[in-house]
Amino acid sequence: MDVQAYAKINLGLRVTAKRADGYHDIETIFQTISLHDTLTFTSAERLTLTCDAPGIPTDERNLVLRAARAAGAPPVAIALQKRIPAGGGLGGGSSDAAATLRALGCEDANVALQLGSDVPFFLVGGTAYATGRGERLVPLPSLAGVPLILVFPPERVGTARAYAMLRRFSPPLGLERVRAMIDDDLLGYATELINDFEEPIFAALPHLATIKTRLYELGAAWAGMSGSGSTIVGAFRDGGDRDAALAALGNGNAVAAATTAATRS
Give the model confidence (pLDDT) of 108-144 as tens digits. Answer: 999 999 999 999 999 999 999 999 999 999 999 999 9
Q: How many Cα atoms within 13 Å fall on the side-chain side of residue 259? A: 14
pLDDT greater than 80 at residue 263: no
The number of distinct structural domains making up the chain is 2
Residue scoring higher pLDDT (181 or 155): 181
The per-residue pLDDT for 157 is: 82
Tell me which of 106, 139, 172 is where a domain ends: 139
Is there a single domain that holds both residue 81 and residue 184?
no
The per-residue pLDDT for 229 is: 85
Q: Give the dihedral of Cα atoms 165, 169, 175, 180; nearest 10 deg.
A: -90
Tell me which of 85, 120, 139 is where a domain ends: 139
CATH number, domain of 226, equals 3.30.70.890
Q: In this structure, is residue 75 part of a structural domain?
A: yes
Is there a single domain that holds both residue 114 and residue 211?
no
Is there a single domain that holds both residue 211 and residue 93?
no
The per-residue pLDDT for 265 is: 53
Query: Are 9 and 45 within 8 A, CB to CB?
Result: no
Q: In this structure, is residue 265 part of a structural domain?
A: no
Tell me which of 108, 139, 170 is where a domain ends: 139
Is there a single domain that holds both residue 201 and residue 226?
yes
| pLDDT tens string 240-257 | 999 999 999 976 779 999
Q: In this structure, is residue 120 part of a structural domain?
A: yes
Is there a single domain that holds both residue 131 and residue 22?
yes
Is there a single domain that holds both residue 127 and residue 171?
no
Residue scoring higher pLDDT (7 or 87): 7
Is there a single domain that holds both residue 27 and residue 126?
yes
Is there a single domain that holds both residue 176 and residue 72?
no
Tell me what the mean pLDDT of segment 148-157 comes to: 92
110, amino acid identity: N
The per-residue pLDDT for 264 is: 62
Q: What residues make up the domain containing 90?
A: 2-139
Q: In this structure, is residue 176 part of a structural domain?
A: yes
Q: In this structure, is residue 103 part of a structural domain?
A: yes
Is there a single domain that holds both residue 79 and residue 95?
yes
Helix (H, G, I), strand (E, B) or coil at 3: strand
Quote the distance between the C-alpha of residue 252 and its chain's center: 24
Handedness of CA 9, 124, 264, 79 (dihedral sign): positive
Is there a single domain that holds both residue 124 and residue 173?
no
Q: In this structure, is residue 90 part of a structural domain?
A: yes
CATH number, domain of 33, equals 3.30.230.10
Q: What is the CA radius of gyration of the chain?
A: 18
pLDDT greater than 60 at residue 165: yes
Is there a single domain that holds both residue 154 and residue 87?
no
| Summary mean pLDDT of the chain | 94
Pick the closest to residue 51 from 82, 84, 91 (CA basis): 82
pLDDT greater than 90 at residue 155: no
The per-residue pLDDT for 73 is: 80
Q: In this structure, is residue 197 part of a structural domain?
A: yes
What's the angle, vertex CA 102, arms to CA 112 and CA 227, rounded to 5?
A: 50
Pick the closest to residue 134 from 258, 1, 12 (CA basis): 12
Is there a single domain that holds both residue 132 and residue 241?
no
pLDDT greater than 90 at residue 22: no
The per-residue pLDDT for 150 is: 98
Just list the catalytic residues.
8, 118
How sure is the predictor about 28, in pLDDT bands with cuts at 50, 70 and 90?
very high
Q: In this structure, is residue 229 part of a structural domain?
A: yes
